Structures are given as C-alpha cells and as structure tokens.
Structure 1
Amino acid sequence: MQQELRVAAYAVCVRDAEVLLARWVAKDGTRRWTLPGGGMDHGEDPVHTVVREVEEETGYLAEPTTLLGIDSIRRSWIGRLGVPGDWQGLRIIYEAQVTGGALRNETGGSTDLAAWHPLGSVPSLARVGLVDIGLDLWRTRPPVGRSRLTDPANG
C-alpha cells in the first residue's frame, strides 16, 4: 500500500465580522472557497508556512496570533495498477491577523480569488469542509484543539 502524508498550515482571519477566504481550484476545475494556507515545505516551520501561504494566496501579510487546533483527514484510493493508496492530511490551523499588504488574487497557483466574506454568508458558499472546521475552532477554542465537527466522540 502506498502511503502519503501532507502537512499544511492554514489561517482563520476574521475582522469586522468577515472571514478571509481563497477560492481553491481543483484539478477537475471545480472551485470552492477555503481558508488561505497550504502545504509545508520540507524543513519549513509551520508558522512560516502559514505566513507565506496567506501572502501567496491573498496578498496580505499576516501574523499568527493563536494556534487554534490540528485537524486530520484521510482518504483511500486505488491506483492505476490496482495498488491501494492511503493519503493523510495533517492541517495546522492558526488564528491570524492581517498586518499589511493589499488584497489581490493569486496567479499561477492553486487558488484564483481571494475575498472577505460576511460570517453569516459562509453557509451559502461553495466551500471545503476545512472552512467550517476552522471557524468552529475559532468560535469554540477547544482545549485540545480538535473541532467537534471531526471528533469521533460527537458521532
């Protein structure tokens, strides 16, 4: 079985009752809103990852202020030669505040738009589950940093 682990860092940036999101473009062309952030380079510190990714995807300089939690996601697949695969994503989620820069869209990356969205409109957006997990962590601040949305104890 082929195993793969991807570690990434994301930011929950909320100001004036709006959340900063980036629109992710999947390989099949599907577009859904996500938290700004992404994969950690080998040897990179997670705080540096989230700062770098927020700037790449939104144009903003951001300062992480709180570690909100860590989320884990897992997917299985069958490869071209019938070899099973097991992918795990470890997502480190920070609260961050914008400290500079200017809003702009990423070019040539995994996202195509960046925008502030009213918190009340988030449920109506086409979005990835990470947005809900990040906002849940931001709102509830669980002591062990695990969202109730992914905690198996919550059914």
Structure 2
Amino acid sequence: MTETAVTRIDHYNDPDAPPANSVVPSTTAVVTDTEDRIVLIRRRDNDLWALPGGGMDLGESIVDTAVREVKEETGLDVEVTGLIGVYTNPHHVMAYTDGEVRQQFSLCFTTRLLGGTLLIDSESTDIAWTPQEQLDAISMHPSMRLRINHYREHRPTPYLG
C-alpha cells in the first residue's frame, strides 16, 4: 500500500474558502543567531519560507509546543522568552487533502538560542539563517510575513488578532 502525503492550501481572506471544521492550537517561533539572522524553513506542503512551528500535542503546554517544534523542524534548542502575538484570523483557513479545514490559531514566540545544529526535517525542503534585510524578497505566506513584521517592530505589547 502506498501512502500519500497530506498537502494543504492556505486560504487567506478568501471569500471562496471552505468553512473551517477544526481548530488546533499551534505555535511559530522567531529564532535568531548572534548576527540577528532569523532561521526560516522552506515548507514541503506549500513551497514557501516560514518560521518553524506546528500544532500542540495533548499533554504539553503551548510553550513546550514551540520548543519541540523548533527542535523537530530545525535541529535547534531554544527557550521561549516572550510573546510576539496571538493570530486567530477566522478568515485564514488551511484546507488539507484529507478533508480537514483548520482555522488559524497560532501563538508566535520570541526565543533564545541555546544550541543545536541546523537540520532539515521531513516537513521541509530547505533551511536557512536569513539576514533581516533579505526578508522582504523571500517568498512567504502573508500570515508569516505579518508575524515577522510584528517581531521586527519590537512592539511593546503582543499583537492580539
């Protein structure tokens, strides 16, 4: 039996998007190095650059989710240091080929790099330390760009949206 990969289509403020049928708390994390570059992964499911992150598992805290997802997707060890924002736009849904249509519910965190070595996992095709002056030219989903822009603004309080 051959297993087929589940892929997704992001619908962002799309009036023709299918209605959501699930919501999963998830995280993204901004990980920087000593040169203030941000680590980005190139996602296998949509071929766009993104912050590392993913869905929360039963039995873990949302902070534990961020730390685990960064480790799984990048090979890096981090600790969470702050909250960039809460992203719950009901007009941003991800339609998966298995029938799930997930409404966005993501918390984006700042982190401190503790160690590790960059590694690509099964969900990515590439990984890179990206200089911040190159971020605007990189192909990424608007929701990822929003999180990165909020980080770069050094907002005094988290984004709530």
Which TM class, normalised by the smaller chain length? 0.7 to 0.9
Which one of the candidate residues 6, 20, 23 is aligned to 1:5?
23
Q: How far apart in 1 are the matches of 2:75 and 2:150?
A: 24
Which one of the candidate residues 104, 108, 114 is aligned to 1:99?
114
Letter in 1 for 2:76: Y
Question: Per-residue deviation at 1:122?
Answer: 1.0
Question: Per-residue deviation at 1:37?
Answer: 0.8
Letter in 2 for 1:136: N
Whether the aligned pair in 2 keeps the contact of 1:34 and 1:130 (CA below 8 Å) is no
Q: Which runs of 5+ in 2 are unaligned?
A: 1-18
| Matched residue count | 140
Aligned to 1:82: none
Question: Per-residue deviation at 1:111?
Answer: 1.8
Letter in 2 for 1:7: P
Alpha-carbon displacement from aligned partner over 1:57-105 (angstroms, at most 9, x marks no partner): 1110011111111111334699xxxxxx863111101001210111111
1:44/1:121 CA distance change after superposition, 3 Å: same
Aligned to 1:126: 139
Q: How far apart in 2 are the matches of 1:57 and 1:118?
A: 19
Residues 5-154 of structure 1 aligned to structure 2 (within 5 Å): 5-15=23-33, 16-26=35-45, 30-74=46-90, 75=92, 87-106=102-121, 108=122, 110-146=123-159
Question: Per-residue deviation at 1:144?
Answer: 4.9
Letter in 2 for 1:11: A
**Higher strand fraction: Structure 1 or Structure 2?**
1
1:2/1:37 CA distance change after superposition, 3 Å: closer
Question: Per-residue deviation at 1:18?
Answer: 1.1
Alpha-carbon displacement from aligned partner over 1:11-34 (angstroms, at most 9, x marks no partner): 1112313111111112xxx41100
Identity %: 27
Question: Per-residue deviation at 1:6?
Answer: 1.9
Question: Per-residue deviation at 1:113?
Answer: 1.9
Q: How far apart in 1 are the matches of 2:94 and 2:41?
A: 27
- The CA RMSD over aligned residues, in Å, is 2.8
Taking structure 2 as the reference length, what is the TM-score of the superposition?
A: 0.74
